[in-house]
Each structure stands twice: as structure tokens, then as C-alpha cells.
Amino acid sequence: MNLARAAVSCKVFPRPSAGRTQASQTRSRCQALRARTVLCKSAISNEQTPKLSVDDSLTNTNRRGALTAAVTAGTALCGALAGPTIPQALAESTETTDVVTGPESTILHMVIRAPDVKAAAEFYKAAGMEVIRERPGNIFVGYGPEVPGERMVIELAQAKPDAKIGTALEYLLISTEEPEKLRAATLAAGGVPAKAGASGRAEAVQGPDGVKLVFTSEVNGVADPLLRLVLNVDSLEPTRLFMQGLGMKVFETRFDAKSLRNGIIMGYGRGPRTSASIEIVGPPRKGAVPVEIGDVYDRLAISSTDIDASVARVRKAIDLAEGAKVPAGRVVKDPFVIERLGTKIAEVVDPTGLVYALVDTDDFLRELA
């Protein structure tokens, strides 16, 4: 897009449509304005040589100035239309920082349901993982011993015959020096080709359980090759707050200019290279549909040194979200003990409906012993 045309585009504002509510019109206007703002920023950063097809009297410098002004005005106007953002609303509360304090937690494992647990285990072994331990009917796989805080593993459980993958689980990101080699190995183990959707040297394969693995060589020197669990959510900022209620920190924020989707990488520890992380990805700016939870991705287990305190922290995040009148999660099972394991857990769900199991750290370590 040339600078002059981009400047004109940035000034275009969609007119209200008849029969639509004011809130709906506001959302549409903001989405359109944000999309145009992205185009303006792209034109500025690329410094493309314009074809003098629109307003030839402007110099390149003046056009870039017009673009910059449009971006600034557009961002401010959209903020005014949409009302206070989640961070702004919560910044008025002195309790906000209390959400991320509390008991120590780490990511333990995700539960994936497969139609054939043993076949799924062989697929993940082809991806370089190993069988770590087994329960009756369940197999744990990963890139090394199951040590809380050091790596994230996968618990494979039995799926029902008509299980659907859904849209909540986007993919698992795996770091490797040889993406092509792992792609070939997993295809031979029953996988099918998939689109990586990542920049740089990356390969993707969808497993027999429906889960997509993305192998990348772009991230090296990591503690755990199973780098990231990427989940789609219905509302990004409310989910970010909920995850902070789980004790997670924000590591990075991302923006995909192609899909106009924002993402937030979160987790425990010092950063996404030293510990397992989760990326929550918000809905696209256009054509958003509710996330389908599906039956394959079941839940994520998180350890806690104090289950009761962790649940209280989650409730505080829920209260803050409800106070800001945005989607909130809920506590579905208060702390209880699984008798056959002797492990104390609790269950909570985020604003999208994704399940998180809080597991007592000491009980979990006894389970491993």
C-alpha cells in the first residue's frame, strides 16, 4: 500500500448500520479502525515509495506525518469508544497486585485424550519424547523426567469414540535443531501434514489424536523442548487476568498483523526459555466465532504449595473481573482429596471454559516417588 492511499484509508471510518445496537456498532467501528491503524503502521515502518495516485501534492514526509497522526488519533478514538480497557479498569483497584502474589506454583502436565492411547504414545515418541510413567489406562510422555518447574509433560488418557478436537488447542510448539527430521518421523508414525503457521524454519504435523505439533529451530538453548502450549480463548484480557489469578506472569505479548490477533505468553519462573509456558491467543478482529472446547484437550495441571490459598487467589481474580464487568472464570471444585491417589486438588475454569487442575505439590511429589 502506498503512503498516500494508506493515509486516506486511515481516515475512513465505517458508518453505523441500521438495526444494530450501539455496543455492536462500537465494536465494529473499533475493529475496523484498529485494522486501518495496523495498515498505517505497516506503511510507516516499511517506508514504501508511494505511487502518486492519491493527493499528489503531498510530499513523502508529509504523508508519513499524516499517517502517524492518523495512528495516534485512531488509537485514542478507539479507546474512547470502547471505554476503559481491562488493565485501566483494574489499575484503579489497590488489590490488583495481590492477584499475582501467593503460593508457589508450576506447570505440571496437560491431559490429552486419544482414541488409542498406546498409538498416541508411539507418535509422541517419534517426536523425540519418552514414556515417563504410566497409570492404569494412562501414559505420561515428555522430554525427560517429570520434575515440577523444569518441564511440561503430556498425560495421554482414553478419549470417547466420537471425540472432537475442537478449536481451543491451537498447537504444541517444540524446539529442535532438525524440524524436517521430526516431521518425517512423526508422519511415519501416523501423523498427517499440517500448516506450521510460524515464521522461520518450522514444520508441522497433526497427530492421530488430532493435536498439531509445530517443530521450530528458531528457539534454541531452552530447558525443555516442549516449549509452549498454545490455546485459543474467547476474550484475551479477561483470560490474562484469570491466569494471573493462577499465579502466572506475563512473559511476552504478540500481535499477528496478518490475522489481526493478539497473543500473550505467560507462565512461571524467569521466562519462556527456562520454564514451560502457555500462549493464550485472542479472537481475530473479524469473523470471530466462539471457541469450541472439544474433547481432546482436557485440562492443564498446575502444582501449588497451598491449594486453599491458590483457590482464594483465583476467586480474587474472578471478583476483579466481575467488578470490571468482563468475562470471569469460576471455581468448579473446591479443594478435595482423590482417595485412590491421596492427592489434594481443586478445579477451576477460565472465561472460555478451559479447565485447570490445581494439584498439591507435596502430594504430587509423593505420587511420583
224-267 residue pLDDT tens: 899 999 999 999 999 999 999 999 999 999 887 777 788 999 99
pLDDT, average across residues 338-362:
95
Whether the Cβ atoms of residue 330 and residue 349 lie closer than 8 Å to each other: yes
pLDDT, average across residues 295-314:
95
DSSP code of 162? Answer: T
Report the pLDDT value the prediction gives residue 170, as an integer from 0 to 100. Answer: 94
Mean pLDDT over each residue of the chain, to the nearest integer? 77
pLDDT range class, residue 66, cuts 50, 70, 90: low
pLDDT range class, residue 89, cuts 50, 70, 90: very low
pLDDT range class, residue 195, cuts 50, 70, 90: confident
pLDDT, average across residues 287-313:
93
Give the lowest-confidence range in 79-93, 141-155, 183-197, 204-218: 79-93
Percent of the chain with pLDDT over 70: 70
Question: When comparing pLDDT for 205 and 367, which is higher?
Answer: 205
Whole-angstrom Cα distance, residue 358 to residue 339? 16
Whole-angstrom Cα distance, residue 57 to residue 52? 9
Whole-angstrom Cα distance, residue 271 to residue 187? 32
Residue 298: pLDDT over 60: yes
pLDDT range class, residue 223, cuts 50, 70, 90: confident
Residue 163: pLDDT over 80: yes
Question: Coil, strand, or helix at residue 348?
Answer: strand
Angle of helix 3-11 versus helix 60-82 axis, rounded to 10? 30
Cα pseudo-dihedral 7, 9, 15, 17, rounded to 10: -160
Whole-angstrom Cα distance, residue 338 to residue 214? 35
Give the lowest-confidence range in 7-21, 206-220, 230-244, 314-328: 7-21
pLDDT, average across residues 332-361:
95
Question: Coil, strand, or helix at residue 286?
Answer: coil
Whether the Cβ atoms of residue 272 and residue 251 lie closer than 8 Å to each other: yes
Residue 56: pLDDT over 90: no
Report the pLDDT value the prediction gives residue 313, as an integer from 0 to 100. Answer: 93
Whole-angstrom Cα distance, residue 230 to residue 278? 6
pLDDT range class, residue 69, cuts 50, 70, 90: low
pLDDT range class, residue 95, cuts 50, 70, 90: very low
Residue 140: pLDDT over 90: yes
Cα pseudo-dihedral 118, 267, 286, 212, rounded to 10: -20
DSSP code of 294? Answer: -
Question: Coil, strand, or helix at residue 360?
Answer: strand
Whole-angstrom Cα distance, residue 211 to residue 314? 28
Question: When comparing pLDDT for 38 and 302, which is higher?
Answer: 302
Question: Which residue, among 270, 248, 241, 242, has the nearest Cα to 102 in the 3D structure?
Answer: 248
Question: When comparing pLDDT for 362 and 27, which is higher?
Answer: 362
Whole-angstrom Cα distance, residue 238 to residue 352? 10
pTM of the model: 0.74
Report the pLDDT value the prediction gives residue 255, as an integer from 0 to 100. Answer: 83
DSSP code of 98? Answer: G
pLDDT, average across residues 53-70:
46
Report the pLDDT value the prediction gives residue 147, as an integer from 0 to 100. Answer: 80
